[in-house]
């Protein structure tokens, strides 16, 4: 299954917000990603239609099993990449930015090798 980079970013953001707060709302996503409310609304509706998230009657957004699996995967890739890049001397803020770009295109083989390297 191929999911667009923008959808991956929204899912990862929802995951991060859910670790930080009891509830996740569209406005929280908008603030975290620095996107307009209408842009976030369109993306959230798309994620709901694609069955990655659930929204309750209060507007609280939760990742369902399908969305959570993708969000955790992207989040873990980001962490592994950031760790690797800082280990080789890249400043944290640059490593964090670069990891955010690489996490969407890295192959499983390269990711596994980097993860193994980090754990040595």
Residues carrying CATH 1.10.60.10, the chain? 74-118
Which DSSP symbol is given to 3? -
Residue percentage of the chain with pLDDT more than 90: 89
Instruction: Pinpoint the residues of the chain covered by CATH 1.10.10.10.
Output: 5-69
Burial class of residue 6 (count of CB atoms within 10 Å of its CB; 0-12, 13-18, 19+): middle
Q: Report how far apart the first and last C-alpha atoms of the chain are (Å, whole number).
A: 31
Determine contact, residues 39/7, Cβ cutoff 8 Å.
Answer: no
- Mean pLDDT to the nearest integer, 29-45: 95
Q: What is the mean pLDDT of residues 56-85?
A: 95
Which fold does the domain 74-118 belong to in CATH? Answer: Diphtheria Toxin Repressor; domain 2 (1.10.60)
Between CA 33 and CA 27 the distance in angstroms is: 10
- Around 96, how many Cα atoms within 13 Å sit in the side-chain half-sphere? 3
Mention the CATH class of domain 5-69: mainly alpha
Once rounded to an integer, what is the mean pLDDT over residues 5-30? Answer: 95
Specify the pLDDT at position 13. 97
With contact defined as beta carbons under 8 Å apart, do 102 and 81 qualify? Answer: yes
Burial class (CB in 10 A: 0-12, 13-18, 19+), 61: buried
pLDDT > 90? residue 2:
no
What's the pLDDT at 119? Answer: 87
**Predicted confidence (pLDDT) at residue 98 exceeds the cutoff of 70:** yes
The tokens describing 45, both together, are 């509706």
Residue 108's SS3 state is: helix
- Polymer length of the chain: 120
Beta bridge partners of 61: 55
Provide the pLDDT for residue 43.
96
């Amino acid at each position: 299954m191929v999911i667009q980079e923008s959808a991956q970013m929204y899912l990862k953001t929802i995951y991060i917000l859910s670790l930080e707060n009891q509830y996740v709302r569209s406005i929280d996503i908008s603030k975290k990603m620095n996107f307009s409310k209408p842009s976030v609304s369109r993306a959230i509706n798309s994620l709901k239609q694609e069955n990655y998230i659930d929204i309750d009657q209060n507007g609280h957004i939760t990742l369902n099993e399908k969305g959570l699996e993708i969000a955790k995967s992207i989040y873990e890739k980001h962490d592994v990449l950031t760790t690797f890049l800082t280990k080789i001397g890249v400043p944290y803020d640059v490593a964090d930015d670069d990891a955010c770009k690489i996490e969407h295109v890295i192959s499983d083989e390269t990711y596994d090798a980097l993860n193994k390297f980090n754990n040595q």
